[in-house]
Amino acid sequence: MKKFYIVALSLLPGALFAASGGSGEYDILPRAINFAIFAAILYYLIAEPLKGFYYKRLNTIAERLESIQAKLKESKSKKEEAVLKVEESKALAKSLVQTAQKEVEIIKKRFEAELAQELENLDKAHNEQIEIERRHMTRQTVAEVIDEMFDDGVKLDQDKFVSIVMKKVA
């Protein structure tokens, strides 16, 4: 019903202020009133949809801006987390290097101790082998002397026997 009144009101000024057929009168005032009424009707019909479109567009832009700002904040926080993780990784790497160096020193000391022990054991084994060979040579020399004595059929007393053995051993 409202639209009917609006259309009727929009046609009314045209009918009221219609110019007569060339009388030479100026019709500026009726045309201005007609234009004002037309503009008012146009404003009445189009204003609300335009305002709605404008506010909808404004809200859409604001929402996009907020989402972009949220993404920016999120990316900044992720960047900060990544920087913290990098710093933690650097500290962990330094501690791992220090630990590895300490382990190398411990292994080196243990290896040196084991090597010293092994050298000591080899030295003892060598000395024991020399002693065994000395005893073996002494027995062999004594056996040779005894064989020599009994082959000749010579009887020796103990002092002479010891002196002969000492000469052979020396």
Domain residue ranges in the chain? 2-17+25-169
Mean per-residue pLDDT over the chain, rounded: 85
pLDDT number for residue 81: 95
In this structure, the number of other CB atoms found within 10 A of the CB of residue 156 comes to 13
pLDDT number for residue 122: 93
Cβ distance 23 to 62 under 8 Å? no
Cβ distance 38 to 9 under 8 Å? no
pLDDT number for residue 148: 74
pLDDT number for residue 168: 72
- Regions of the chain where pLDDT drops below 50: none
Q: Rounded to 5 degrees, what are φ and ψ at 17?
A: -105, 25
